[in-house]
Amino acid sequence: MDRSDVLRQVMRETRTTQSELSRISGVHQPSISQFLSSRVDMSDSMLDRLLSCMGYRLEVIRKPVRRELRRSEERSWRLHRELSRHLDLLSFQEWRPVMLRNITRLRKQVTGQPHVRNLFRWEELVDDGDLSGLRHVLTGLDRDSIEMREVSPMRGLLPQEQRLDALGIAS
């Protein structure tokens, strides 16, 4: 059930019209109409504000959901997660020249988007020393992070034994 459905249901249950909700909440009636039709996205805080005018509150239930990755994406994520485990200021200083060499090498091999753009993004992260940004890309399960790892400059940074451990392969 999306936010507009929740608002619509409570308005129906409380027999509250858009005009009445507008007067009580101070939110313009056309905005309420747009929320209800999903033409304008409404935040959780706005929904909670509108619900409170009708005697309700918003309760958001969050639960972890395991992300399903293809085999190659899973392997890449495991290797990069292991790199993230070892990433700190000292290791970054040691790894930086290798990452920059790998970016240069990859630029000669890679064509097309989003790969070319992602190489520039890797270079920005490395140049800026953005450890937080690097960790996000190394461990993220969003499509953007997955695509970034497809042109990863992290090759050659993990010893073979750690690579095999990260992949769950006995050495």
**If you average pLDDT over every residue of the chain, what do you get?**
93
Q: What is the DSSP string of 89-157?
A: HHHHHHHHHHHHHHHHHHHHH--STTHHHHHHHHHHHHHHT-HHHHHHHHH--SHHHHHHHTT-S-TT-
Number of Cβ within 10 Å of residue 18's Cβ equals 18
Task: Quote the pLDDT of residue 164.
Answer: 87
DSSP three-state, residue 159: coil
pLDDT tens digit sequence for 77-122:
999 999 999 999 999 999 999 999 999 999 999 999 899 999 999 9
| Owner of token pair 């750690």 | 162
Higher local confidence (pLDDT), 80 or 64? 80
- pLDDT value at 137 more than 90: yes
Task: Quote the pLDDT of residue 64.
Answer: 87
